[in-house]
Amino acid sequence: MRTIQKALFFFEMRSYGVCEWWARKLGISTSKVRIGFIYGSFIALGSPLFIYFGMAWILEHKHYFKFQSKRRKSIWEL
């Protein structure tokens, strides 16, 4: 039972941020994105879960990637 609680804690603290991030980017509610992942997992026999976990890993390590680029104000700021 202890292992199950650790797994649930992991998903609650880290993985749920994926749906929230997508919902913020798309401008829709978080519950719609979560339901989309759930239905997609049932229809595609679980393959969207691999995509979900990949996105969770990327969001966890986003400081290694340049998602936010600073826009230069002029050509002289190289």
Query: Where exactly are the structural domains of the chain?
Result: 2-64
Over pLDDT 70: what percentage of the chain?
74
Placement of tokens 């340049």 in the chain: 66
Instruction: Report the alpha-carbon distance of residue 51 to residue 40 in Å, rounded.
Output: 11
Which residues are within 8 A (CB) of 47 and not within 5 positions of it... i.e. 6 or more apart? 41
**Mean pLDDT (whole number) for 32-59:** 85
Q: Give the tens place of pLDDT for each residue, 53-64.
A: 888 888 877 777
Give dist(CA 35, CA 25) in Å, integer: 17
Q: Are 18 and 59 in contact (CB under 8 A)?
A: yes
Centre a 10 Å sphere on the Cβ of residue 33 and count the other Cβ atoms it contains: 19
Torsion over CA: 20, 25, 29, 34 (sign): negative
Q: Predicted confidence band at 28 (pLDDT cuts at 50, 70, 90)?
A: very high
pTM (two decimals) = 0.58
